[in-house]
Structure 1
Amino acid sequence: MSDAVLNISAYLFVPLPDRAELRPRLLAQCQAAGLKGTILLADEGINLFLAGAAQAVRGFLAELRADPRFALLEAKESWSAQQPFRRLLVKLKREIIRMDHPAIRPAAGRAPGVDARTLKRWLDQGHDDGGRPVVLLDTRNAFEVDYGTFENAIDWRITKFTEFPQAVQAHRAELEGRTVVSFCTGGIRCEKAAIYMHGIGLPNVLQLDGGILKYFEEVGGAHYRGDCFVFDGREALAPDLSARSAHSSARRAEDPDIAIKA
């Protein structure tokens, strides 16, 4: 295989009151396995992007899932010819994806989701199974959207995820009476977004399970135009999960506060 490096992205909302003690253990395990990338630990859960030899990556995941709290952690996989990260970071954060809404606690219960194959079928037929029109809501930052997004998706041109709640309030009328499917790169932002929208009284909101990367993995690029920006040295992935060439964005991918978004 020419693409010899396995890349994974994964997150799980689960209470981690011992995250400070967990940090050095995960750091040591990744170093021993020769992995690079970023792991964020917060009271609300874990978020990670890692890359390395396939056996080493999967071995680390097996170790992680041996902790019952991480047993349900699901990883999205893609391959690259070279290591896309220059270093390994394991950081403690206030949130694994910053929204600045402490009342949003995904570990207490997820918003309902829709899987990739069902979403494709809805988009093929032009409505959900109840006949309600479907609107896709991109929860990513504007520069990410510019790499590619779903056809006719709503894009409020936010520059950071903390702007999302205000954007929802300003554009709420666009969402009324429709089935709203929030989506992002790997699922974490659209999960928080869906919970927030339910909380303000928008009942017909779903999250795209696993985000764009899982959609690419399961159904390819149907109804999607362009590529998907990823926060590592590959810069963007095509719908077949092949890497695009990296240039100016590679520098952004090394910023630990943005390299982990999903």
Structure 2
Amino acid sequence: MASVLNVSAYLFTQIDDPATLRPALRERAVAARLKGTIILAEEGINLFLAGAAADVRGFLDDLRADERFAALTAKESWSAEQPFARMLVKHKREIIRMDRPTVRPGAGRAPAVAPETLRRWLDQGHDDAGREVVVLDTRNAFEVDYGTFEGALDWRIDRFTQFPAAAEEHGAQLAGKTVVSFCTGGIRCEKAAIHLRESGIDAYQLDGGILGYFAHAGAAHFRGDCFVFDGRESLTPALTPALTPALTPAPAAHGERCEQ
């Protein structure tokens, strides 16, 4: 029986004291018997947590009581076992590393496309203005190999910091088209869409990423499973752990990374 609630969430919001906040959040998470990873930076918060439903939701409610995190929303899935080995809270320069200081989602998001809208666009073969739609996978190559959208562009990057260079190299593929960038839970494609728009590309982010698409649009136009950075390894479009073995080993131990 799936009794462990897993949540992924992130929010770009100004945090002036991430180093001070880190031990306080860890203490609260441990007291709530949670495991997973929280990353804090001046630009915001990024987290994957798992535990009893009441404990996880209570922790998030307490977090939202801080006005900096009031807008935090979480994507939920379930597992029969705890997928994390421990509780980590880290202070980093970015909550998802891109090494592009001008890309600041907290100062203004790129336009987002709802999962239902993307499904309709893919059903009809164009956006509502009749333009060609390109779905762009911003994840690492080994993640893409678990599953992706039909016909998605995959630039075979090994880490997200390579995305800007790949965009410069392959930008001609995107010119004159409606580009929807996507990732696991939304954080990487949010930064990617901003970077692309700064380069003159008509780019949008998939709101909620693949996990949000699974929750609201199901499996339509997606082939395979979605890799996640925890002990479940990958999720099906039903948001349940996949039963198929890994195609390739993850490049870091489960629970050590927090990418969405």
Residue 205 of structure 1 aligns to which amino acid in structure 2? A
2:191 maps to: 192
Q: Distance in 2 between matches of 1:85 and 1:251?
A: 16
Q: How many residues are aligned here?
A: 258
Question: Secondary structure at 1:222's aligned position in 2?
Answer: coil
Where do residues 248-259 of structure 1 align in structure 2 (5 Å cutoff)? 249=249, 252-254=252-254, 256=256, 259=257
Q: Secondary structure at the match of 2:252?
A: helix
Aligned to 1:120: 119
Q: Deviations over 1:76-99 (max 9, x none)?
A: 000000000000000000111000
Residues 111-190 of structure 1 mapped to structure 2, 5 A cutoff: 111-190=110-189
1:74 has 2:80 as partner:
no
Unpaired runs of at least 5, structure 1:
none
Please give the per-residue CA displacement for 1:185-211, whole angstroms capped at 9, x wherever unaligned.
000000000000111121x11000000
How far does residue 244 in structure 1 lie from its aligned partner after superposition?
2.0
Give the distance between the partners of 1:206 and 1:250, measured in 2 at CA.
28
TM-score (structure 1 length as normaliser): 0.96
Q: Secondary structure at the match of 2:56?
A: helix
Cα-Cα RMSD:
1.3
Which residue does the alignment assign to 1:103? 102
Moved more, 32-41 or 14-23: 14-23
Q: Percent identity?
A: 65
The one-letter code of the counterpart of 1:252 is A
**What code does the residue aligned with 2:134 have?**
V
Q: Is the 8 A contact 1:9 1:77 kept in 2?
A: yes
Corresponding residue SS for 1:252? coil
Decide whether aligned partners of structure 1 residues 94 and 230 sit closer, same or farther in structure 2, where only a CA change above 3 A counts: same
Displacement of 1:249 in angstroms is 4.2
Deviation at 1:253, TM superposition (A): 3.9
1:217 aligns with 2:215: yes
- Residue matched to 1:43: 42
What is the letter of the counterpart of residue 132 of structure 1? Answer: R
Looking at structure 2, the residues matched to 19 and 98 of structure 1 have their Cα atoms a distance apart, in angstroms, of 16
Are the counterparts in 1 of residues 84 and 231 from structure 2 also a CA contact under 8 Å? yes
* TM-score normalised according to structure 2 size: 0.97
2:204 — aligned with what? Answer: 206
Measure, in 1, the Cα distance between the counterparts of 2:68 and 2:87: 23
Question: Residue 255 of structure 1: CA displacement?
Answer: 5.8
Q: Does the 8 A contact of 1:136 with 1:182 survive in 2?
A: yes
- Do the aligned residues in 1 keep the contact of 2:230 with 2:255 (CA within 8 Å)? no
Q: In structure 1, what is the Cα distance between the partners aligned to 2:23 and 2:154?
A: 39
Report whether the alignment pairs 1:4 with 2:8: no
> Equivalent residue for 1:53?
52
2:165 partner letter? Q
Matching residue within 226, 229, 240 for 1:228: 226
Q: Kindly state the Cα deviation for residue 25 of structure 1 after the two structures are TM-superposed.
A: 1.2
Structure 1 runs of 4+ off > 6 angstroms? none
* Structure 2, unpaired ranges of 5+: none
Alpha-carbon contact 2:231-2:255 (below 8 Å) kept: no
Whether the aligned pair in 2 keeps the contact of 1:235 and 1:249 (CA below 8 Å) is: no
Q: Give the Cα–Cα distance (whole angstroms) in 1 for the partners of residues 124 and 91 of structure 2.
A: 44
Residues 185 and 111 (structure 1), Cα distance of their counterparts in 2 relative to 1, 3 Å cut? same
Q: Could you tell which deviates more after superposition, 17-26 or 55-64?
A: 17-26
Partner Cα distance (1:67, 1:150) in 2: 37
